[in-house]
Amino acid sequence: MAKVSQAHLEARRRSILEAAARVFSQKGIAAATMAEIAHEAGISPGAIYRYFASKEELARAGMAGPAEAVKAAWEHPEQVETGFAELSRATFAALELPGADLDTRLLFERALVAVRDEDAALLHEFGEELGRILRGVAFLLKRDFGERLEGWDVEALAQALYSFYWGARFVQLMAPGAPGPVRQLEALQRLMEAAFGRQQEQPAG
């Protein structure tokens, strides 16, 4: 029997993830079944379990797209040399990659499940991730803009920027004809640069 190549296995795994994202976005994670996902992927129900032990594992794996490396950089900015502007652009550019809309649908669906079902564990997971990212955003803001942020509530600014990111994802999903995430980011960055510049030029006292 010919040995199946690693490339083939990876391609099959990716096709299952893409099928799961489509099914989850149509039916929701709770209502979707592994049989439906297998049918969407064009494989037998038994074959899907060779790649994913459960629907929950499959849903978690669906979150691991191109944005995972970017998210890790925000959570641990002290370990990377990337600056705030560069990392922001990479983050928003990832939203314009093929398949990003499916990732967004899956993330929104998972968030709705957490709130609707009052899933304490999932809400805690979201909260922990939010805290790590906000600390990372604040860290990079302070490192890159320094004294220009004097007088600013940096933690609130980090929260506002994170909210802007999710707003951009929502708009992209609901209004695909609107300016893309990168254009929105560029407009925001110009506004920030102007605001920080004025703050720096104000006389002390």
Q: What count of other Cβ atoms lies within 10 Å of the Cβ of residue 3?
A: 6
Residues with Cβ < 8 Å from 205, sequence gap 6 or more? none
Chain segment 82-140, per-residue pLDDT in tens? 889 999 998 999 888 777 787 788 788 888 888 988 889 889 989 999 999 999 999 99
Residue owning tokens 């002290």: 78
Chain segment 57-94, per-residue pLDDT in tens? 887 776 655 567 788 889 999 888 888 999 999 899 98
**Quick one: CATH architecture of 6-60?**
Orthogonal Bundle (1.10)
**Quick one: CATH architecture of 63-201?**
Orthogonal Bundle (1.10)
pTM: 0.71
H helix intervals, the chain:
6-27, 34-41, 45-48, 55-61, 67-75, 84-94, 100-116, 120-145, 154-174, 181-201
Burial classification of residue 159, based on how many CB atoms lie within 10 Å of its CB (0-12 exposed, 13-18 middle, 19 or more buried): middle
User: Domains of the chain: which residue ranges?
Assistant: 6-60, 63-201
